[in-house]
Amino acid sequence: MGTAVGTNENNAKKYINILNDSYIINDISNFAFSLKENVRNTHKLYVADNGIINAVSYRFWDNKAKLFENFVFNELQKQHYNEITFAGNNGECDFVVKKRFEYQSIQICYELTSENSKREFAGFNTIKDEVKISKKTIITYNQEMQNDDIEIVPAWKYFFRN
């Protein structure tokens, strides 16, 4: 990552820690029960305000999906989960959240379509062997349905009921 921003790896980590400590960004790690694995695993960064993403990113593509995922992360933080991680071993489950002793897996998809539904549903398989999941949810912009044991719900409804 250091070379991507024109510095070395140690400086990049230092800057990320400064931004994380000042609550400008949040650094979440890949799900692991071991603290040692957690430190070594990959990480994802989320920004405290979507306006920061708009201010510093290039607009060569439509980034509403990334902005939506960032928005959902910030709202999940307000739900007082004990942990928010992600599962990215074979595919990716956007969020694995823990409240008390229950784990939930959450996929974020701005719009669920025939082109992306297979990938979104497969994301739940990345965590199923590591921990017992009590609930599977796909949070969308404005779609709602049930698909077997997976609830598909719009963001506004998910956050207003929790």
Element (H, E) at 159: helix 155-161
- Check residue 37 and give its pLDDT: 59
Q: Give the DSSP H/E element, type plus range, for residue 152.
A: strand 150-154
Q: What is residue 10's predicted lDDT score, i.e. its pLDDT?
A: 83
CA angle (78, 81, 84) in 5-degree steps:
100
**Residue 114 CB coordination number (10 Å):** 6
Q: Residue 161: what pLDDT?
A: 81
Give the pLDDT of residue 109.
96
Label residue 9 left, alpha or beta by phi (over 0 means left) and psi (-120 to 50 means alpha).
alpha
- Determine the pLDDT at residue 60: 59
Identify the segments of the chain with pLDDT beneath 70.
Answer: 1-6, 33-41, 58-62, 162
pLDDT of residue 91: 78
Specify the pLDDT at position 3.
Answer: 53
